[in-house]
Amino acid sequence: MPVTRMQAAPTTTPIRERAAGTDYEGHFRNALERLHGERRYRVFADIERISGRFPTANWRRPDGRTTEITVWCSNDYLGMGQHPDVVAAMTETARRCGVGAGGTRNIAGNNSPLVDLERELADLHGKEAGLVFTSGYVSNQAGISTIAKLIPDCLILSDAFNHNSMIEGVRHSGCEKRVFRHNDLAHLEELLAAAGDRPKLIVFESVYSMDGDVAPIEKICDLAQRYGAMTYLDEVHAVGLYGERGAGMAERDGVMHRVDVIEGTLAKGFGCVGGYITGSALLCDAVRSHAAGFIFTTALPPAIAAAARASVRYLKRSSVERAAHQRQAARTKAALEAAGLPVLPTETHIVPVMVGDAELCKAAADHLLERHAIYIQPINYPTVPRGTERLRITPSPFHDEARIAKLTAALVETWETLDLPRAGTLFVEAAE
């Protein structure tokens, strides 16, 4: 079974015995059976990354045997999770400060490396302040909901393809919302004009992680200015990767100063864990003082904050990784396209190879792992709309020519074995 099972403590009465007349466990069984029926039950690969040999990892098979594999789907886009400066900052700080934060920010958990990290992030995005959360997910959920809640009568305008964490932030705010068609400026303008004078918050991403397309940030800022709206931009799939100092797409486009709130993660391009918002000192202070998802949870530990700061600082100075990342992503795309594989054209580092069927997508991923020691997680509904299931490939600077050639041959063999649709034969539907 893919779930990790533990022996129940002997004193615990199993749910099914306790619940006379009510089959509590039956509800969980039914819920899982529904997922199996829809062919979208998720199985996690049990892997252990090998520090210093990115993107190699050991895969522990269900039978306990171990196989060395190449990971082609990590969001540690630059391999910074194994960078010597980052590992050194974490281990040195853990030795000096211990491992946990010891409390919430309010009660004993505030720590100097975390305060320094927030200053580093504010500087990265050219803002007055930064506020760190335990993940990018929490930063969106707590950030958007709190910001919108603090503005009386706020209307939220949200891109149709926004990540679940942003959708949850919008929902938790309790504010009225309008969803604009993905990257559709005319539709956004129509909604802004119809909203009249009331306060408005536009929430959107820079790089959309599944299709790899980019928002027209400058034009959205123009509209925000014209109609008196605030802007909140998720740069989760761009921080570390784009811009002269790795601040993301808004930096690349020279419009960082025009975005009111820039949100990011420390988990992907920066290779650690945690999330943040940056903005005016007043806004960050207000979120710090009101967001339940910030107040009532233990702070990020000092060793993680120090590692994240080391990563941010390193990538502010060095563009070598960014250039190599773009180069290897372009080479991967070119190789797969030349082999006739159905690559969704993207302008970014993300390489989606379309399958269009949940069961076949999982079969392709299983085959790649079993037969070729290549790990690419299948991406199925609800992460992407039904009919657009795909393998989402994320090349890094460390996926060299030999690995790209091996990946291409493995995908071609998989496509032939499973008789999967080739380039030009697959109709990619718009999002639901």
**Cβ neighbours of residue 18 closer than 8 Å, sequence gap 6 or more:** none
Helix, strand, coil content of the chain in percent (nearest 5): 45, 15, 40
Closer by beta carbon to ligand PLP, 140 or else 183 = 140
Q: How many CB atoms lie within 10 A of CB 28?
A: 11
C-beta of 24: minimal distance to ligand PLP in Å?
31
C-beta of 134: minimal distance to ligand PLP in Å?
8
C-beta of 177: minimal distance to ligand PLP in Å?
17
Q: Prior bond to 55 cis, omega within 30?
A: yes
Closer by beta carbon to ligand PLP, 132 or else 192 = 132
Going from the C-alpha of 208 to that of each of 167, 379, 426, the distances in angstroms are 14, 14, 21
C-beta of 223: minimal distance to ligand PLP in Å?
21
Going from the C-alpha of 181 to that of each of 178, 190, 266, 286, 380, the distances in angstroms are 10, 11, 29, 31, 21
Going from the C-alpha of 49 to that of each of 15, 54, 72, 324, 330, the distances in angstroms are 37, 7, 12, 21, 25
C-beta of 431: minimal distance to ligand PLP in Å?
14
Closer by beta carbon to ligand PLP, 274 or else 395 = 274
Q: How many CB atoms lie within 10 A of CB 400?
A: 13
Closer by beta carbon to ligand PLP, 205 or else 357 = 205
**Residues designated as active site:** 268
Closer by beta carbon to ligand PLP, 270 or else 398 = 270
C-beta of 384: minimal distance to ligand PLP in Å?
12
Q: Which residue has the tokens 């959107």?
A: 204
Closer by beta carbon to ligand PLP, 205 or else 251 = 205
Rounded-to-integer distance, Cα 361 and Cα 236, Å: 26
Closer by beta carbon to ligand PLP, 273 or else 369 = 273
Q: Which residues of 198-229 are buried (b: 16+ CB within 10 A; e: fewer)?
A: ebbbbbbbbbbbbbbbbbebeebbebbeebeb
Positions that interact with ligand PLP (CB under 6 A) = 135-137, 140, 163, 165, 205, 209, 234, 236-237, 265, 267, 275
Q: Prior bond to 382 cis, omega within 30?
A: yes
Burial of 167 (0-12, 13-18, 19+ CB in 10 A): middle
Residue 100 falls in which region: left (phi positive, over 0), alpha (psi -120 to 50) or beta: beta
Residue type (1 letter), 77 = Y
C-beta of 12: minimal distance to ligand PLP in Å?
32
